[in-house]
Homo-oligomer: A and B are copies of this chain.
């Protein structure tokens, strides 16, 4: 019986293509590492000036702000990935490779953050950061567009209104980041504020959370 159970499971898995769990493990791993190595930019000051350690820590201010923004940004992308993949039934070659490109963007966040932490007032540094965020946002949009197409990758009966709302939600990033890059050449402060606002918008206007909450409320 146990053997039959296993064979059945295998047959199903094979028939439906590759399961999503290992891709999720890889994605969660890359996010966890990218989030944690952000902290390597914060280093104990080697030598102390007249202000002592307190001043040495205050001097880390802009690096700390970059750490904070980048951690939240990675959190936003991770949660969006988690929510979107919640509806995935199986993965195929194209979806895997879109995700690997997405992970490449995630791995670049600590680098872009490190440049922005060191050169906070340089529009080039802010553009690099915006470029990485924009690339990630564009790939996120592409992944959802590909997944939600008629390819049997997601749950069949998924509400088309939700599919559309998620598409609009994921279009915020690719639309806003080029604006932020352009703005950074006028005012780095305003560009930085846009990078701060973007995740907040993403967090509060979240169609998947609302969809799942509504489903739960109508449950018997």
What is A's interface to B at a CB cutoff of 8 Å? 1-3, 6, 8-19, 22-26, 28-40, 42-44, 52-54, 57, 68, 71-72, 75, 78-79, 82-83, 86, 89, 92-93, 96-97, 100, 103-104, 107-108, 110-111, 114-115, 117-119, 122, 124-125, 128, 152, 155, 203, 206, 209, 212-213, 215-216, 219
Contact = CB atoms under 8 A, between A and B. Distances in A.
A42 B111 contact: yes
A209 B79 CA distance: 28
A6 B110 CA distance: 38
A124 B44 CA distance: 12
Contacts of A124: 52-54, 57
Q: For the complex, would chain A's binding face be called helix, strand, loop or mixed by DSSP majority? A: helix
Contacts of A54: 124
A19 B39 CA distance: 29
Nearest to A203: B97
A22 B82 contact: yes
Contacts of A71: 100, 103-104, 107
A22 B28 contact: yes
A33 B31 CA distance: 10
Given A15-B215, A25-B32, A26-B31, 8 more contacts: A14-B212, A18-B86, A30-B32, A39-B107, A42-B111, A75-B97, A79-B93, A82-B96
B152 A216 contact: yes
Nearest to A83: B18
A202 B92 CA distance: 15
A28 B31 contact: no
